[in-house]
């Protein structure tokens, strides 16, 4: 199908989808990327863990304080 074959409503939907995808790319540079299985498992383990590090400690470790 060619763009010229779209009616006005189909064209509006098409343009809207393109704009939405581009905005997601601009606002989230990782949009569309997949997590490696190993990283996803580590993330799940971390989320399930009860151990937490205070935000202030993280900032100190990163030299932000």
Residue 13 and residue 24: Cα distance in Å, rounded? 17
Q: Are 31 and 25 in contact (CB under 8 A)?
A: yes
- The region that residue 32 occupies, defined by phi over 0 for left and psi between -120 and 50 for alpha, beta otherwise, is left
pLDDT for res 32: 80
Q: Which residues of the chain have pLDDT under 70?
A: none
pLDDT for res 42: 94
Q: Where are the alpha helices (DSSP H) in 1-65?
A: 8-27, 37-48, 55-61
Domains in the chain: boundaries: 3-61
pLDDT for res 61: 93
């Amino acid at each position: 199908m060619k763009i010229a074959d779209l009616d006005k409503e189909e064209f509006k939907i098409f343009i809207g989808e393109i704009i939405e995808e581009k905005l997601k790319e601009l606002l989230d540079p990782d949009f569309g990327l997949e997590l490696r299985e190993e990283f996803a498992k580590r993330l799940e383990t971390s989320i399930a863990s009860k151990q937490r590090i205070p935000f202030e400690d993280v900032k100190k470790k990163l030299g932000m304080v």
